[in-house]
Protein backbone atom coordinates (compact mmCIF):
# COMPACT_ATOMS: atom_id res chain seq x y z
CA UNK A 1 0.00 0.00 0.00
CA UNK A 2 1.41 3.36 -0.99
CA UNK A 3 2.57 5.79 1.68
CA UNK A 4 0.47 8.83 2.29
CA UNK A 5 2.26 12.13 2.54
CA UNK A 6 2.57 13.77 5.94
CA UNK A 7 -0.64 15.52 6.80
CA UNK A 8 -1.75 18.24 9.12
CA UNK A 9 -4.64 17.97 11.48
CA UNK A 10 -6.07 21.06 9.84
CA UNK A 11 -5.76 19.70 6.33
CA UNK A 12 -7.98 16.73 7.05
CA UNK A 13 -10.28 18.65 9.36
CA UNK A 14 -9.36 16.05 11.94
CA UNK A 15 -9.19 18.56 14.73
CA UNK A 16 -10.13 15.99 17.35
CA UNK A 17 -10.60 18.73 19.91
CA UNK A 18 -11.38 16.54 22.88
CA UNK A 19 -13.42 17.66 25.80
CA UNK A 20 -15.11 16.18 28.80
CA UNK A 21 -18.75 16.26 27.76
CA UNK A 22 -19.72 18.92 30.27
CA UNK A 23 -21.81 21.93 29.35
CA UNK A 24 -20.83 23.85 32.45
CA UNK A 25 -17.55 25.62 33.23
CA UNK A 26 -14.25 23.78 32.97
CA UNK A 27 -13.60 21.22 35.67
CA UNK A 28 -10.72 18.98 36.59
CA UNK A 29 -12.32 16.21 34.53
CA UNK A 30 -11.66 18.01 31.27
CA UNK A 31 -8.91 16.87 28.96
CA UNK A 32 -6.79 19.96 28.57
CA UNK A 33 -6.16 19.93 24.84
CA UNK A 34 -6.35 22.97 22.55
CA UNK A 35 -9.83 23.98 21.47
CA UNK A 36 -8.58 25.46 18.19
CA UNK A 37 -7.13 23.82 15.12
CA UNK A 38 -3.42 23.19 14.98
CA UNK A 39 -1.24 23.03 11.89
CA UNK A 40 1.47 20.94 13.53
CA UNK A 41 2.73 18.34 11.08
CA UNK A 42 2.13 14.72 11.95
CA UNK A 43 4.85 12.63 10.33
CA UNK A 44 3.02 9.41 11.16
CA UNK A 45 -0.55 9.52 9.75
CA UNK A 46 -3.50 9.56 12.13
CA UNK A 47 -6.02 8.22 9.63
CA UNK A 48 -6.56 6.51 6.30
CA UNK A 49 -9.55 6.60 3.94
CA UNK A 50 -10.77 3.73 1.75
CA UNK A 51 -13.58 3.31 -0.76
CA UNK A 52 -15.24 0.20 -2.18
CA UNK A 53 -14.95 -0.85 -5.81
CA UNK A 54 -15.77 -4.04 -7.67
CA UNK A 55 -12.13 -5.04 -7.29
CA UNK A 56 -12.14 -4.62 -3.50
CA UNK A 57 -11.04 -1.83 -1.18
CA UNK A 58 -9.04 1.10 -2.52
CA UNK A 59 -7.04 3.66 -0.47
CA UNK A 60 -7.85 7.31 -1.18
CA UNK A 61 -6.82 10.63 0.35
CA UNK A 62 -10.38 11.95 0.84
CA UNK A 63 -13.93 10.80 -0.03
CA UNK A 64 -14.21 13.83 -2.31
CA UNK A 65 -11.80 12.10 -4.69
CA UNK A 66 -13.79 8.86 -4.86
CA UNK A 67 -14.89 8.10 -8.45
CA UNK A 68 -18.54 8.88 -9.14
CA UNK A 69 -20.89 5.92 -9.20
CA UNK A 70 -24.56 5.29 -9.98
CA UNK A 71 -27.00 5.59 -7.09
CA UNK A 72 -28.75 2.30 -6.41
CA UNK A 73 -31.19 1.09 -3.74
CA UNK A 74 -29.19 0.48 -0.57
CA UNK A 75 -30.04 -3.24 -0.70
CA UNK A 76 -28.45 -3.56 -4.14
CA UNK A 77 -25.09 -1.80 -3.82
CA UNK A 78 -21.79 -1.89 -1.96
CA UNK A 79 -21.98 -0.44 1.54
CA UNK A 80 -21.08 -1.48 5.08
CA UNK A 81 -24.11 -3.32 6.44
CA UNK A 82 -22.66 -4.52 9.75
CA UNK A 83 -19.65 -4.17 12.04
CA UNK A 84 -18.80 -6.32 15.05
CA UNK A 85 -16.15 -7.80 17.32
CA UNK A 86 -16.42 -11.59 17.33
CA UNK A 87 -14.09 -13.97 19.17
CA UNK A 88 -11.34 -11.31 19.57
CA UNK A 89 -11.45 -10.29 15.89
CA UNK A 90 -13.13 -7.29 14.29
CA UNK A 91 -15.19 -7.43 11.11
CA UNK A 92 -17.11 -5.27 8.67
CA UNK A 93 -19.76 -6.86 6.47
CA UNK A 94 -19.90 -5.16 3.06
CA UNK A 95 -23.00 -5.77 0.99
CA UNK A 96 -22.25 -6.99 -2.55
CA UNK A 97 -18.56 -7.33 -1.73
CA UNK A 98 -17.65 -9.57 1.22
CA UNK A 99 -16.47 -9.73 4.82
CA UNK A 100 -13.54 -7.59 5.97
CA UNK A 101 -11.25 -8.73 8.78
CA UNK A 102 -9.88 -5.53 10.32
CA UNK A 103 -6.25 -5.28 11.48
CA UNK A 104 -5.14 -3.50 14.65
CA UNK A 105 -2.41 -1.54 12.83
CA UNK A 106 -3.09 1.50 10.67
CA UNK A 107 -0.53 0.50 8.04
CA UNK A 108 -2.03 -2.95 7.47
CA UNK A 109 -4.73 -3.46 4.86
CA UNK A 110 -7.98 -5.19 5.91
CA UNK A 111 -8.39 -8.70 4.52
CA UNK A 112 -11.39 -9.27 2.25
CA UNK A 113 -13.15 -12.64 2.13
CA UNK A 114 -15.91 -13.17 -0.40
CA UNK A 115 -18.11 -15.77 -2.06
CA UNK A 116 -19.99 -15.19 -5.32
CA UNK A 117 -22.99 -17.13 -4.00
CA UNK A 118 -23.73 -14.59 -1.29
CA UNK A 119 -22.21 -11.31 -2.45
CA UNK A 120 -23.21 -11.08 -6.13
CA UNK A 121 -26.99 -10.66 -6.34
CA UNK A 122 -28.15 -10.95 -2.73
CA UNK A 123 -28.37 -8.47 0.11
CA UNK A 124 -26.11 -9.25 3.09
CA UNK A 125 -26.81 -7.66 6.47
CA UNK A 126 -27.21 -8.23 10.20
CA UNK A 127 -23.68 -9.31 11.23
CA UNK A 128 -23.87 -11.31 14.47
CA UNK A 129 -21.88 -13.63 16.69
CA UNK A 130 -23.42 -17.11 16.74
CA UNK A 131 -21.59 -20.06 18.29
CA UNK A 132 -18.39 -18.00 18.24
CA UNK A 133 -18.39 -17.33 14.49
CA UNK A 134 -19.52 -14.42 12.28
CA UNK A 135 -23.04 -15.06 10.99
CA UNK A 136 -25.08 -12.85 8.70
CA UNK A 137 -28.42 -12.76 6.94
CA UNK A 138 -28.78 -12.84 3.15
CA UNK A 139 -31.93 -12.24 1.12
CA UNK A 140 -33.21 -10.90 -2.17
CA UNK A 141 -35.48 -7.89 -2.09
CA UNK A 142 -38.47 -8.76 -4.30
CA UNK A 143 -39.13 -5.11 -5.11
CA UNK A 144 -35.66 -4.47 -6.58
CA UNK A 145 -34.32 -7.94 -7.41
CA UNK A 146 -35.87 -9.99 -10.22
CA UNK A 147 -34.21 -13.18 -8.93
CA UNK A 148 -36.01 -12.98 -5.59
CA UNK A 149 -38.26 -16.00 -6.15
CA UNK A 150 -36.11 -18.12 -8.46
CA UNK A 151 -35.10 -20.84 -6.01
CA UNK A 152 -34.78 -21.46 -2.27
CA UNK A 153 -31.49 -20.11 -1.00
CA UNK A 154 -29.92 -20.06 2.47
CA UNK A 155 -30.94 -17.05 4.51
CA UNK A 156 -28.38 -17.53 7.29
CA UNK A 157 -24.66 -17.77 6.47
CA UNK A 158 -21.73 -18.52 8.77
CA UNK A 159 -18.12 -17.59 8.06
CA UNK A 160 -15.99 -20.48 9.29
CA UNK A 161 -12.75 -18.78 10.31
CA UNK A 162 -11.04 -22.14 10.90
CA UNK A 163 -11.75 -23.32 7.35
CA UNK A 164 -11.86 -19.90 5.65
CA UNK A 165 -15.21 -20.62 3.97
CA UNK A 166 -18.77 -19.30 4.01
CA UNK A 167 -21.18 -21.98 5.14
CA UNK A 168 -25.00 -22.01 4.69
CA UNK A 169 -26.83 -22.64 7.96
CA UNK A 170 -30.56 -22.41 7.25
CA UNK A 171 -33.02 -22.17 4.37
CA UNK A 172 -36.63 -21.08 4.63
CA UNK A 173 -37.72 -24.65 3.82
CA UNK A 174 -35.98 -25.75 7.04
CA UNK A 175 -38.67 -23.70 8.81
CA UNK A 176 -41.39 -25.38 6.71
CA UNK A 177 -42.02 -22.18 4.79
CA UNK A 178 -42.67 -21.87 1.03
CA UNK A 179 -39.57 -22.03 -1.15
CA UNK A 180 -40.10 -18.46 -2.36
CA UNK A 181 -40.44 -16.98 1.14
CA UNK A 182 -38.44 -13.78 1.55
CA UNK A 183 -36.85 -13.01 4.92
CA UNK A 184 -38.10 -9.50 5.61
CA UNK A 185 -36.79 -9.16 9.16
CA UNK A 186 -34.50 -11.30 11.30
CA UNK A 187 -33.09 -10.74 14.75
CA UNK A 188 -31.30 -12.81 17.39
CA UNK A 189 -31.18 -12.41 21.17
CA UNK A 190 -28.46 -14.97 21.87
CA UNK A 191 -30.90 -17.88 22.10
CA UNK A 192 -33.98 -17.24 19.97
CA UNK A 193 -34.43 -16.02 16.42
CA UNK A 194 -37.39 -13.84 15.53
CA UNK A 195 -38.26 -13.49 11.87
CA UNK A 196 -40.80 -12.09 9.47
CA UNK A 197 -41.15 -13.95 6.17
CA UNK A 198 -43.09 -12.83 3.09
CA UNK A 199 -44.49 -15.26 0.51
CA UNK A 200 -45.99 -13.82 -2.67
CA UNK A 201 -48.07 -15.28 -5.49
CA UNK A 202 -50.05 -13.58 -8.25
CA UNK A 203 -53.14 -13.79 -6.07
CA UNK A 204 -51.87 -12.81 -2.63
CA UNK A 205 -49.01 -11.88 -0.33
CA UNK A 206 -48.76 -13.66 3.01
CA UNK A 207 -46.58 -12.93 6.04
CA UNK A 208 -45.40 -15.51 8.57
CA UNK A 209 -44.00 -14.41 11.93
CA UNK A 210 -41.85 -16.98 13.69
CA UNK A 211 -39.81 -17.42 16.84
CA UNK A 212 -37.39 -20.33 16.54
CA UNK A 213 -34.27 -21.93 18.01
CA UNK A 214 -32.31 -25.16 17.95
CA UNK A 215 -30.98 -27.22 20.87
CA UNK A 216 -28.14 -28.32 18.59
CA UNK A 217 -25.54 -26.01 17.00
CA UNK A 218 -26.94 -24.74 13.70
CA UNK A 219 -23.85 -25.96 11.86
CA UNK A 220 -24.76 -29.54 12.81
CA UNK A 221 -28.12 -29.18 11.04
CA UNK A 222 -26.68 -27.97 7.76
CA UNK A 223 -27.94 -29.94 4.79
CA UNK A 224 -30.12 -32.23 6.89
CA UNK A 225 -32.46 -30.07 8.95
CA UNK A 226 -35.55 -32.13 9.65
CA UNK A 227 -38.90 -31.46 11.21
CA UNK A 228 -38.51 -31.29 14.97
CA UNK A 229 -34.85 -30.31 15.02
CA UNK A 230 -35.74 -26.64 14.95
CA UNK A 231 -38.17 -25.57 17.63
CA UNK A 232 -40.49 -22.86 16.34
CA UNK A 233 -43.47 -20.87 17.47
CA UNK A 234 -45.92 -19.05 15.23
CA UNK A 235 -46.34 -15.43 16.32
CA UNK A 236 -49.21 -13.06 15.73
CA UNK A 237 -48.44 -9.82 13.95
CA UNK A 238 -49.07 -7.92 17.17
CA UNK A 239 -46.75 -10.09 19.28
CA UNK A 240 -44.05 -9.82 16.60
CA UNK A 241 -44.32 -6.03 16.58
CA UNK A 242 -44.06 -5.96 20.37
CA UNK A 243 -40.89 -8.06 20.30
CA UNK A 244 -39.12 -5.85 17.74
CA UNK A 245 -40.54 -2.50 18.86
CA UNK A 246 -38.40 0.50 19.72
CA UNK A 247 -37.89 1.20 23.41
CA UNK A 248 -37.93 4.45 25.33
CA UNK A 249 -34.51 5.95 25.97
CA UNK A 250 -35.24 6.06 29.71
CA UNK A 251 -35.07 2.24 29.71
CA UNK A 252 -31.64 2.14 28.03
CA UNK A 253 -28.69 0.82 30.07
CA UNK A 254 -27.32 3.38 32.52
CA UNK A 255 -23.97 3.31 30.72
CA UNK A 256 -25.69 4.65 27.61
CA UNK A 257 -27.61 7.32 29.47
CA UNK A 258 -24.46 8.45 31.29
CA UNK A 259 -22.42 8.57 28.08
CA UNK A 260 -24.94 10.87 26.42
CA UNK A 261 -26.12 12.75 29.50
CA UNK A 262 -24.79 16.09 28.27
CA UNK A 263 -26.97 16.08 25.15
CA UNK A 264 -29.87 18.44 26.00
CA UNK A 265 -33.09 16.62 26.81
CA UNK A 266 -34.99 18.57 24.17
CA UNK A 267 -32.90 16.85 21.47
CA UNK A 268 -34.58 13.75 20.05
CA UNK A 269 -32.50 10.58 19.77
CA UNK A 270 -32.79 7.41 17.71
CA UNK A 271 -30.13 4.91 18.76
CA UNK A 272 -29.20 1.38 17.71
CA UNK A 273 -27.58 -0.36 20.68
CA UNK A 274 -25.45 -3.51 20.67
CA UNK A 275 -23.27 -5.22 23.27
CA UNK A 276 -20.10 -7.28 23.16
CA UNK A 277 -20.54 -10.70 21.51
CA UNK A 278 -23.12 -8.98 19.36
CA UNK A 279 -26.69 -10.09 19.11
CA UNK A 280 -29.25 -8.08 17.16
CA UNK A 281 -29.39 -4.41 18.15
CA UNK A 282 -32.03 -2.87 20.38
CA UNK A 283 -33.45 0.46 19.25
CA UNK A 284 -33.92 3.22 21.82
CA UNK A 285 -35.67 6.49 21.05
CA UNK A 286 -36.20 9.81 22.81
CA UNK A 287 -39.04 11.71 21.19
CA UNK A 288 -39.20 15.50 21.27
CA UNK A 289 -40.29 18.21 18.85
CA UNK A 290 -36.83 18.24 17.24
CA UNK A 291 -35.60 16.04 14.42
CA UNK A 292 -33.81 13.03 15.94
CA UNK A 293 -30.06 12.54 16.05
CA UNK A 294 -29.40 9.08 14.61
CA UNK A 295 -26.58 7.02 16.03
CA UNK A 296 -25.00 3.66 16.79
CA UNK A 297 -24.08 2.72 20.37
CA UNK A 298 -21.69 -0.15 21.12
CA UNK A 299 -20.98 -1.45 24.61
CA UNK A 300 -17.73 -3.37 24.14
CA UNK A 301 -15.25 -5.07 26.48
CA UNK A 302 -13.17 -1.98 27.31
CA UNK A 303 -15.35 0.96 26.29
CA UNK A 304 -18.79 2.23 25.39
CA UNK A 305 -19.06 4.52 22.39
CA UNK A 306 -21.61 6.30 20.23
CA UNK A 307 -21.29 7.43 16.63
CA UNK A 308 -23.77 9.96 15.30
CA UNK A 309 -24.22 10.19 11.56
CA UNK A 310 -22.62 13.66 11.38
CA UNK A 311 -19.37 12.24 12.80
CA UNK A 312 -19.83 13.26 16.44
CA UNK A 313 -18.28 10.50 18.54
CA UNK A 314 -18.75 9.89 22.29
CA UNK A 315 -16.33 7.59 24.10
CA UNK A 316 -15.85 6.33 27.66
CA UNK A 317 -13.32 3.74 28.80
CA UNK A 318 -10.17 2.61 27.01
CA UNK A 319 -9.02 1.08 23.78
CA UNK A 320 -7.68 -2.48 24.00
CA UNK A 321 -4.57 -2.86 26.21
CA UNK A 322 -4.34 0.90 26.76
CA UNK A 323 -5.03 3.11 29.82
CA UNK A 324 -8.48 4.42 30.63
CA UNK A 325 -9.11 7.81 29.02
CA UNK A 326 -10.09 10.81 31.18
CA UNK A 327 -10.56 8.67 34.31
CA UNK A 328 -13.46 6.91 32.61
CA UNK A 329 -15.50 10.08 32.13
CA UNK A 330 -17.02 10.61 28.65
CA UNK A 331 -15.04 12.46 26.03
CA UNK A 332 -16.28 13.63 22.68
CA UNK A 333 -14.66 14.40 19.34
CA UNK A 334 -15.72 15.12 15.79
CA UNK A 335 -14.60 13.03 12.85
CA UNK A 336 -13.64 14.83 9.63
CA UNK A 337 -16.54 16.72 8.10
CA UNK A 338 -17.97 14.85 5.13
CA UNK A 339 -19.04 16.42 1.82
CA UNK A 340 -22.71 17.28 1.39
CA UNK A 341 -24.82 14.13 0.97
CA UNK A 342 -22.34 11.89 2.81
CA UNK A 343 -22.71 10.48 6.31
CA UNK A 344 -21.05 8.11 8.75
CA UNK A 345 -23.09 4.96 9.40
CA UNK A 346 -21.35 2.38 11.62
CA UNK A 347 -18.12 1.67 13.50
CA UNK A 348 -16.03 -0.89 15.33
CA UNK A 349 -12.62 -1.01 17.04
CA UNK A 350 -9.69 -3.30 16.29
CA UNK A 351 -7.17 -2.71 19.05
CA UNK A 352 -6.75 1.08 19.13
CA UNK A 353 -7.82 1.54 15.52
CA UNK A 354 -11.31 2.96 15.06
CA UNK A 355 -12.98 1.88 11.80
CA UNK A 356 -15.90 4.03 10.67
CA UNK A 357 -18.14 3.31 7.68
CA UNK A 358 -19.24 6.14 5.41
CA UNK A 359 -21.55 6.40 2.42
CA UNK A 360 -23.17 8.81 0.01
CA UNK A 361 -26.93 8.79 0.47
CA UNK A 362 -29.89 10.02 -1.56
CA UNK A 363 -33.26 9.06 -0.08
CA UNK A 364 -33.26 5.21 -0.14
CA UNK A 365 -30.31 4.96 -2.52
CA UNK A 366 -26.56 4.76 -1.94
CA UNK A 367 -23.78 6.01 -4.19
CA UNK A 368 -20.14 5.99 -3.13
CA UNK A 369 -19.12 4.23 0.08
CA UNK A 370 -16.14 3.11 2.09
CA UNK A 371 -14.60 3.43 5.53
CA UNK A 372 -12.19 5.49 7.59
CA UNK A 373 -9.47 4.07 9.88
CA UNK A 374 -8.28 6.26 12.77
CA UNK A 375 -5.37 5.49 15.12
CA UNK A 376 -6.78 6.51 18.51
CA UNK A 377 -3.42 6.11 20.20
CA UNK A 378 -2.47 9.35 18.48
CA UNK A 379 -5.71 10.97 19.59
CA UNK A 380 -6.12 9.83 23.19
CA UNK A 381 -2.61 8.95 24.36
Q: Which domain holds residue 161?
A: 115-245
145 shares a domain with 164: yes
The three-class DSSP label of residue 343 is strand
Share of the chain above pLDDT 70, in %: 84
Terminal C-alpha separation, the chain: 26
Nearest CA-CA partner of 335 in 362, 364, 363, 315: 315
Question: Are residues 227 and 254 located together in one domain of the fold?
Answer: no
Between 228 and 370, whose confidence is greater?
370
Q: Is there a domain that residue 45 lies in? A: yes
Q: Does residue 294 share a domain with residue 182?
A: no
Q: Clarify whether residues 132 and 233 are in a common domain.
A: yes
Using CB atoms within 10 Å of the CB of residue 219, give its burial: 0 to 12 exposed, 13 to 18 middle, 19+ buried. middle
3-state secondary structure of 268: coil
For the chain, the domain total comes to: 2
Parallel, antiparallel or unpaired: strands 41-42 and 47-53:
unpaired
Residue 105, domain member (yes or no): no
Burial class (CB in 10 A: 0-12, 13-18, 19+), 143: exposed
Q: With a threshold of 0.85, does the pTM exceed it?
A: yes
- Classify residue 377: in a domain, yes or no: yes
Which strand (E) or helix (H) includes residue 118? helix 116-119
Q: Are 311 and 350 in the same domain?
A: yes
Task: Give phi and psi for 45, each to the nearest 5.
Answer: -60, 145
Residues 83 and 12 in one domain: yes
Given a cut of 60, whether residue 251 has pLDDT beyond it is yes
User: Are residues 326 and 349 located together in one domain of the fold?
Assistant: yes
Are 135 and 235 in the same domain? yes
6 and 122 share one domain: no
pLDDT above 80: residue 13: no
Looking at the domain assignment, is residue 96 inside a domain?
no
What pLDDT score was predicted for residue 2? 37
Q: Which of 245, 270, 297 is the last residue of a domain?
A: 245
Q: How far apart are CA 231 and CA 243, in angstroms?
A: 18
Say whether both 227 and 256 belong to one domain. Answer: no
Q: Are residues 262 and 289 located together in one domain of the fold?
A: yes
Question: Is residue 126 a part of any domain in this protein?
Answer: yes
Residue 253 within a domain: yes
Report yes or no on 136 lying in a domain.
Answer: yes
Clarify whether residues 56 and 161 are in a common domain.
no
- Render pLDDT for 291-300 as a digit per residue (tens, 0 to 9): 999 999 999 9
Q: Per the domain annotation, does 106 fall within a domain?
A: no
Dump the DSSP string for 227-261. Answer: TTTEEEEEE-HHHHHHHH--EEGGGS-HHHHHHTT
Q: Which residue, of 199, 216, 245, is where some domain finishes?
A: 245
Of 245, 266, 290, the last residue of a domain is 245
Give the pLDDT score at 19. 47
Percent of the chain topping pLDDT 90: 70
Of the candidates 298, 294, 293, 270, the residue with the CA atom closest to the CA atom of residue 283 = 270
Q: Look over the chain and give the mean of its residue pLDDT values, rounded to a whole number.
A: 86
Amino acid sequence: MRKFKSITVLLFLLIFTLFSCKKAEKTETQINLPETATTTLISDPVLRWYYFSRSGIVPIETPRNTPQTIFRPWTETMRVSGAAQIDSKSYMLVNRLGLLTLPDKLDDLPELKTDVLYFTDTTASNLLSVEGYPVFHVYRNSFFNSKASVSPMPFLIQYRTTADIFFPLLKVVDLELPENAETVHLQYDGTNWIGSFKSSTEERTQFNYLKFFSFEPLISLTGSAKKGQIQKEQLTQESFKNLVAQRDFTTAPKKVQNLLSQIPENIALSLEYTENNPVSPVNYIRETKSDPMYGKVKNLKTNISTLFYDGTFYFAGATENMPIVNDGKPVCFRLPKMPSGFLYTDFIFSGSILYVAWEEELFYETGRSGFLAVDLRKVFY
